[in-house]
Amino acid sequence: MAERLISRGEVYWVDLPDKGGSELKDKHLGIVISNNFQNQASPVVIILPITSRKKGDKLYHFEIETYFNKQTGKILVDQITTVDKVRRFLGKRISIAEEKTLVKIERKLCYVLGLSTEALLEELAERLSKTKLF
């Protein structure tokens, strides 16, 4: 079977394994956040799971509200995980995240992982200046 090409920012249905804790499990949308070189070279990719969001659900400061597959949801930046490209991806790509969503993800990852943001913010500002947002 030919290996699928998976790119950063793409959204797929993913079968998340039961790890026995509070992490999401079973079938959820997931957004790929690993870089494309790694995505091509490795049998696993890094994703952030996406869960549905109902009216009135709390949105925490480390989550990102989003709309994929005709449903409001939230990207769970605090549940970063790796998944096997062959065993865990279900079907075709659902969507591709907009650049502004990827920028929000990168900022939230810095917060969640306690990373320095100065150099990253300069790079993101440059990328955003080249991207038409509206």
Distance CA 108, CA 101 (A): 11
pTM, two decimals, is 0.79
In a domain, 74, yes or no: yes
54, 23 in Cβ contact below 8 A?
A: no
In a domain, 91, yes or no: yes
The SS3 call for residue 69 is coil
**Total of domains in the chain:** 1
CATH of the domain at 15: 2.30.30.110
pLDDT in tens, 55-64: 778 888 888 9
pLDDT in tens, 80-134: 999 888 887 777 889 999 999 999 999 899 888 888 767 777 877 887 887 765 5
Q: Which of 107, 104, 98 has its CA nearest to residue 134?
A: 98
